[in-house]
Amino acid sequence: MWKNKNVWIILAGELVAGLGLWFGIIGNLEFLQQHVPSDFFKSLILFIGLLAGVLVGPFAGKVCDRYSKKIVLLYSGFLRMISVTFMLLALHFSSISWMLVFTVTFQISAAFYFPALQATIPLIVEEKELLTINGIHMNVSTISRIAGTALGGMLLALVSLRSLYIASFVAYVILFGVTFFLNVPNDEHTNESNQRPKMRFTEMIPLLKKYPLVKIALLLTLIPMLFLGGFNLIVMSISELQHDRAIKGLLYTTEGIAFMVGAFAVKQMTRNRDLRKLLYIFSFLIAVSQGSLYLAAMKIASLASFALFGFSVGCFFPITATIFQTNIPKEYHGRFFSLKNMLDRVLFQIVLLGTGFFLDVVGLEKMVVLFSGLSLLLLIYFFVRETGNSVSLQRNDSSAG
């Protein structure tokens, strides 16, 4: 796998793109804190961009399956570069309206980019290497997040917000250039699939009934999303609760390091074990980590909560990614990952708005108890409903035959 130049291009691109992304996120949070006092209105602004990504999701899925993954990555990368220029206008005019244009165009580009990327990975490595590459890819993403938040925080203290977004733009230009060197050897199947009868995007949902483990993994993804949807708002709230601006960087770093540990350890933990049971275990730990933020006023407790969450999702997401890539036929990967991306975004929007609302109304401590309780109820419901089913990572008869 390490002799495959495409793997290095994907990983290098993820590192560079992640730096640009987190420079932008740090800048966005600072811009919102300067211009929008209400947590709910902050979440509403972010919601509008995510909604745009959902609306183009069905079209993005069809495009990812019909055309070369490399071409989709290039066009979406170019749009992402253009989106940053809108944020520079927002800074120049101190305009929330231009920030909305930025979030809409950025999320539209992401709606194409991430399904195409997920569909590319199983084309460039062998199936037995998927769990490894998914874990490594997520670790690179986490390294870029740690480095991006740390460097972004330092740059924010030394230079202007404008310079931070210029640095983000440069990172996206580098990613765009690196993508040109990507060679996807099995991408021809997209042209072959163009000669087959087309399956509508909406028919992906009944198709999932044929893949029970995929359905379970999709349902359990609801639980980490209850934490991730309001992640940045929670970080800002903890910072305000502790009256410590520096805690934001510590929380991001702690969660990121724990995520890396989980992603490195997951391959050992999954050997000869039922992946369905592991998904339930890590989902339970995620729910516990969220509830433990009731003690977020204590610095040690908040860091411990983020460490537990990071480790749990570091194990959870490589497992689900591998399940999706190995159980769903490759000719449907673009539409499936686009569907998953849409579901994630819809849930993300609901949680984002809910987090902003509950932070304004009941405060952080009561909110995390409520969300943790909801996660545990969902976990019990899914477990009771699915416990009678014997599911493993083995392919369905339809895919195995």
pLDDT single digits (tens) 220-245? 888 888 888 788 788 888 888 888 77
Kindly list the structural domains of the chain, giving each domain's residue range(s) and its CATH number in brackets, ordered by start.
Answer: 5-182+207-388 (1.20.1250.20)
Question: What are the distances in angstroms from CA 145 to CA 163, 255, 298, 319, 390?
Answer: 19, 10, 24, 20, 37
Q: Which of 214, 221, 232, 205 is nearest to 149 (CA)?
A: 232
- The predicted-structure confidence for 50-104, as pLDDT tens digits, reads as follows 778 778 877 877 787 788 888 888 998 899 899 999 989 988 888 888 988 988 8
In sequence order, what are the residues at sequence separation of 6 or more whose Cβ sits closer than 8 angstroms to the Cβ of residue 176? 74, 77, 78, 81
User: What mean pLDDT do residues 308-335 have?
Assistant: 82
pTM: 0.67
Residue 221 near residue 373, CB atoms below 8 Å: no
Could you give the CA distance from residue 218 to residue 201 in angstroms, rounded to a whole number?
A: 17
DSSP character string of 27-66: HHHHHHHHH---HHHHHHHHHHHHHHHHHTHHHHHHHHHH
Chain mean position to CA 370: 23
- The predicted-structure confidence for 155-177, as pLDDT tens digits, reads as follows 777 778 888 888 888 888 888 88
Question: What are the distances in angstroms from CA 43 to CA 94, 107, 145, 302?
Answer: 18, 15, 21, 22
DSSP character string of 165-176: HHHHHHHHHHHH
Tokens of 135: 């874990």
Residue 49 near residue 349, CB atoms below 8 Å: no
Instruction: Cite the DSSP H helix spans in 328-387.
Output: 333-361, 364-386
Could you give the CA distance from residue 11 to residue 57 in angstroms, rounded to a whole number?
A: 25
* Helices then strands, each counted (H, E), the chain: 18, 0
Residue 193 reports pLDDT greater than 70: no
Q: Which of 315, 319, 330, 318 is nearest to 120 (CA)?
A: 330
